[in-house]
Structure 1
Amino acid sequence: MDSELIERRIHILRQEHGDLEAAIVALQAAPAIDQLQIARIKKRKLRIKDEISQLEDMLIPDIIA
């Protein structure tokens, strides 16, 4: 995977991460809070964050010590 594709994927994931955060805020402001749905969204956010970290690591060249 070349760096341009990785950066594009990171950008898409960051957008999705932000959208999920907005969804969590909206659900918490709703009169009837669905804790299960909020938990699922938070879990998805964590998976996205992990994937972003892995992709960012791919962009950093290995340094041989």
Structure 2
Amino acid sequence: MLTEEQITENRATLHELQIEHHDLDQVIAHLMLNPPPDDLLIRRLKKRKLLLKDRMTLLEHLLEPDVLA
């Protein structure tokens, strides 16, 4: 069971990750429309975005335990 402090910290972290995820999504979309000479940057940004999504999912599960549990 999480303490109120842990819940507050996790919510703040989740919010920061959501903002970064959204920002990366916008950057990736822009770069795909105006591609750089190679696509290494886009691949790195997409990988970072996936890592953020995984962390967000983990935090969401911590904050909202399974109803069936």
TM-score of the pair, normalised by structure 1: 0.83
| 1:34 counterpart SS class | coil
Superposition deviation, residue 61 in structure 1? 3.6
1:30 and 2:34 matched: yes
Partner of 1:48: 52
CA contact (8 A) 1:17 1:45 kept: yes
Superposition deviation, residue 58 in structure 1? 1.1
Q: Paired residue for 1:16, among 16, 20, 24?
A: 20
CA contact (8 A) 1:27 1:34 kept: no
Superposition deviation, residue 28 in structure 1? 1.1
Q: Which runs of 4+ in 1 moved over 2 A?
A: 31-34, 60-65
* Paired residues, number: 65
Q: Which runs of 5+ in 2 are unaligned?
A: none
CA contact (8 A) 1:6 1:59 kept: yes
Superposition deviation, residue 2 in structure 1? 1.1
Among all aligned residue pairs of Structure 1 and Structure 2, give the percentage whose two residues are the same amino acid.
40
Superposition deviation, residue 62 in structure 1? 6.0
CA RMSD of superposed structures (Å): 2.1
TM-score of the pair, normalised by structure 2: 0.79
